[in-house]
A and B are shown apart, each in its own frame.
Chain A
Amino acid sequence: MKWLNISSIGTWWLRLLVLLLLGIPALSGWPLTEVTTGIQMLVPFELDRAGDISDLVSWVVYSSIIWLVVFSSVGIRKFLEYLAAAFIIGLTTALLGSVVRKAFPILSGTMSADEISLRMVNLLLIIVTVVPYALLFINSFSAKNIITKLTDAKGKRKTIGLHFALLLRVIQHAGEVIFNLLEIWAEEHPDKIFPRHRRDWRAKWYSSANMFPWAWGAVFSWIYATMIHTFEPIPGMVDEVENINHYRR
């Protein structure tokens, strides 16, 4: 399956083109909507929620293609890491979405429980497809190579390009930061999803309800810590890019 390996494409613009083509269904919906209609027409009998189910099937097919390409490009270990990240984000979003819709039915409008469930499953599928694709996309390009190449360019294109390269590098850096934060988190919370110190949870029968504020706080801590550690080196990175730009002119 070497031909599915995106990272083996030496020319950067060809790699970009292939990745963009691969991402068209997720970005525009085409041809997923056509496939969904096709599947609906193939089903020989009346089925409740046939539209939603066909949509799910078309996303499953698309997910499989994306996963195959990601797997062939990054190897089994990285692929599983990407999937783990995608499922954590996907499950958190889908489950929270269900809870919120249950708690505030007004948000669901006239949708039935079945319809909401199917929507949430669809949302989960979209996330577990898009996240590995996005991670493959981001890491398929070297910010350093883009910066050094752009320094030979002139005018607005160069300025926009350098800003884009810097943005790419900052996003890539987020992945490196998470590696470090995971170790810090594991040291602080060996049970990973529970706090190390939780004696008060045993105080009353209802004390374990504290798990919800804890989970909420943990998600926010992660978001802030990732942002802070990702943004921290930006002034230094900008300084370095300025220098490369200045001296290669």
Chain B
Amino acid sequence: MVACMTISLFESYEEQMSYFVDTTKVNLLPMTNGRGAFFKELGNWFRDYSSDDISEHVSYILPNPAQGLSFPTAKDVLSAALSMHLDSDRAEEEAITLLLEFGLSPEKAGQPVVSLSGGELLLLNFAKAKAMLPTVNRLVACSPVNWLNRNRYQYWESLVSFYADSKKNVDVALLRGEPFPDNDDDGKEIFSQQEDSRNLQWKLFIDNPLVVFPEIRFPTYHPQSCLQFVSNEKELNLISPALITGDNGIGKSILAKVMAGVIKPANGVATSLSANGNGSARLIFQDAIDQVFGMSIDAHMDWVFQFDSTKAKAAKSIYSTIERSLRETLHDSHFAGLSALGEAGKRSTLLQAKICLVAERIASLPPLIVLDEPGWGLSKSVSRFFIAEVCKQAHENGAAVVIISHQPMWWDGLIRSHVHLEKQDNSNILLSVQEDG
């Protein structure tokens, strides 16, 4: 089945993206280099673009699965892809069948793509790649299972088998050590982990927060839905760093947003207490790049702290410490992952953007910092070094750390407590502390 699949391994997100652009000829605009660089690149693309340049038609999946979905709802995305070889009416019908085939319920058809979870977006990308199969020459997939729970790898395998049956190639671009079915390269050889010896204890107060997603009537219809996070105990005693796991679409990112005060529950609360006191967590989103708000990494740091020179100094110091430590560790390990930190003296990579966001949050002295899929866009070794450094700095500053991840095994030896989310019924999600932490 996998005879037509080639796997390329990369040390950094930037190398992986460069490979993607070379392979597909689809331009990706830089999001962490600042406004000037973005508009310059957009202008260059606009000036140089010619439809005659498209030599080969490929379907693709990007590391951030939200990219590459050009239409507002799942049904539109799939019916547009299907319309390349089916008439419009059949394309609409087939779109629903495809959703079901890739583990998405028909209710997702009219839901705005922006409100789908990371895993659901990946499954939608799989369905789109299947829809495009008759018209494309091959599939280029970057980190195609990174946000997927292991129990859903079958959908990826099924997509690959469709391409194999049609004798079409699948090019997979992975970051070294990242999860992938039957991937032997798990980055084991790279390091001995430097753990933080502090046992920073913290509490999560969870009083059945209820999140209500109101009915959407326009432009497409989507009914009201609710999600309630319940726990047998109102006070969970945890040790930092803690891991939160759960199936795709169960509501991990929503819980993180509730803990951070970004989503206000209709009733109930979810707050945290650590050495820094009680309150809302600070959050780094799954697609962390968006959080620099279209600015360069340096400009973002200056903007956030323009009226607090003390914290600005603290954040810059934390940033320098984490980056220096990562450079030294990676250099001492003779590890090629150093490319994730870019050229010395220049801040523009995804890892540097993540360090900037973390440093800013640690300096704001919250009780808790939540990192949603912190391994996204990083190789396994770099992720672990990064998280180890984040924990050191956060703990030194009294903040606990939570990681949300689909890959518990990635964080072996680092994690001190583990909370698992499980569906009880349609709207209740049970939080339970696991003993394996």
Contact = CB atoms under 8 A, between A and B. Distances in A.
A141 to B, nearest CB: 9
Contacts of B306: 195, 214, 217
A31 interface: no
Given A77-B214, A148-B88, A243 B135 contact: yes
A64 interface: no
Interface in B57-72: 57, 67-68, 70-72
A201 interface: yes
Contact of A225 (B29, B217, B262, B294): B294
B72 A176 contact: yes
B14 interface: no
Contacts of B310: 199
Contacts of B31: 228, 232
Interface string A83-118: 000000000000000000000000000000000000
A45 B308 CA distance: 59
A231 B42 contact: yes
A237 B216 contact: no
B290 interface: yes
A246 B282 CA distance: 47
A196 B364 contact: yes
Contact of B262 (A172, A179, A187, A235): A187
Contacts, number: 159
A159 B367 CA distance: 56
A128 B160 CA distance: 51
Contact of A180 (B54, B68, B290, B308): B290
Interface residues on B, range: 35 or more
Interface string A228-239: 110111111111
A74 interface: yes
B277 to A, nearest CB: 15
B217 A78 contact: yes
A235 B257 CA distance: 31
A52 interface: no
Contacts of B364: 196-197
Contact residues of B: prevailing secondary structure? loop
Interface of chain A, helix or strand or loop or mixed?
helix
A196 to B, nearest CB: 7
Nearest to B79: A144
Given A201-B307, A244-B83, A176 B114 contact: yes
A184 B85 CA distance: 39
Given A74-B218, A149-B88, A221-B294, 12 more contacts: A78-B217, A145-B88, A169-B71, A180-B290, A183-B262, A186-B261, A195-B307, A227-B294, A235-B26, A247-B57, A247-B135, A248-B83
29 contacts: A7-B219, A142-B76, A144-B80, A169-B71, A184-B285, A184-B291, A187-B291, A195-B304, A195-B307, A196-B364, A197-B364, A200-B308, A200-B309, A210-B307, A214-B306, A214-B307, A221-B294, A221-B295, A227-B294, A228-B35, A232-B38, A239-B26, A241-B70, A242-B51, A242-B54, A243-B57, A243-B84, A246-B57, A248-B83
Which 7 A-B residue pairs are closest in the complex by CB-CB distance? A75-B217, A197-B308, A228-B294, A247-B84, A74-B218, A235-B27, A225-B294
